[in-house]
Structure 1
Amino acid sequence: ALPSVAASAYQLILDRRLGAYHLPEGWSIVAAGNRLDDRGITYAMPAPLANRFMHIHLQADSEAWLDWADRQNISPLLLEFIEHEPEWLTRFAPEPEIKAFPSPRSWVFAHRVIARRGRLDATTFAHIAACVGLAAAAALQAFAGHTAEQKTPLTTWLAAPEALMQITDLSQQMDAVQAIGNALDQQRINLDQALTLAKHLPDDALSFGLIEQLHQAVGDRLFDEPAFSLWVAARGGKPLMMNPPTSA
């Protein structure tokens, strides 16, 4: 809260009154807010005010969310995905460059996309990525089995990576990112080749999203690859800070 508002709460919280007003018996005072590192509009809580509270930190729980989501008729695909890969329920991205990331709230937005679109095609997954981020949308797409490898000329790109830069359609770019990630997972291409293709993706956000997928797959050894330095140079010399890889 604003410092002026916080100051007025001192007496109310400690003495349960504010001037002549007394809080009724049986009432409790509960305050909720974001942490300072949540990139919200927050103010540091003054020590005297903090000392008047019990402090409880909450975190998202996949089982509780699934129970709630089932009662809200959330998309069965999303329920199955979070049930099998609960680490994707929430993955906060502290980097200010990343606007979309998975959270209980943003998965509801993804559900609305699926309900509105009525089909699971590349455009739908592109819209889902706008809600939960590229990495989460790609993981969902892989889980759903909607890969587009047959529509993407991977061998052509390996022979001439510059061909990727000619792709202007967003859904086709999403297909390309998914195909590259799947090819690495299936060991049909190596990390150096995946990084080379990432360097030639025409869209910065998609390129960053693919790099995040690669980091989740191989960990920090990604940064030791010579091709990673070339990717950094191609993207202006300032890579995003990566979240630590997590295991399913």
Structure 2
Amino acid sequence: DDRGITYVMPAPLANRFMHVELQADADAWLAWAARQGIDPVLRDFMAEQPHWLARFLPEPEVKAFPSPRSWVFADRVIKRRALPTLTGAGSSRLDETTLIHIAACVGREAAAALAEFVGGGEQEEFSVAGWLNEPGSLAQLTDISAQMDAVRAIVAARNQGRIRSDEALKLAVELPDDRLSFSLIEQLHQIEGDRLFDEPAFSNWVSARGAKAPVASFGAAPSAG
């Protein structure tokens, strides 16, 4: 699709090769991106709009277009500019200069879609990416129903591979309500199994919240001492 081969291979020659068609897999890319620490904003965007993972536009003047590789370049742009996080109404995670640089990596249309997603996508108070990028922001949710929505958002993000297990555990520490923090741990245990207890971030959760929740009910969990 990206015109990497610009000539027609003669049939006798083509018959001497194995021909494989590759397709971009958004779920696989999201799982890989979580392991590699790709910016959560990009992971959330790709989970919501996976058609932007790979989209080649055949116009001759188009040099930049979205692909799994070019989104990694966009992630590097965000990291190098050390942008402020989503903190409140009216703030922007991606300023104009950054979007120009991202467009140079993934093309103007993909960059515009990303800008629209960041500016008007999910509500910032329920943004898993925002909580991860702004330590302590989740702890500011005082309403119980809002915290319940937060737990559902975190579990969904982990199930979809948009965040790593250690990132989910860090958010469990920040949940203000002890019962909901423990509920999140239980749901993460259902996803991860006993390997959850091997995470250093789980030990951090036990140290911070374990005395307030019935950790012993896990059975296989290590003691807080």
TM-score (norm 2): 0.46
The structure that has the greater radius of gyration is: 1
Structure-1-length-normalised TM-score: 0.42
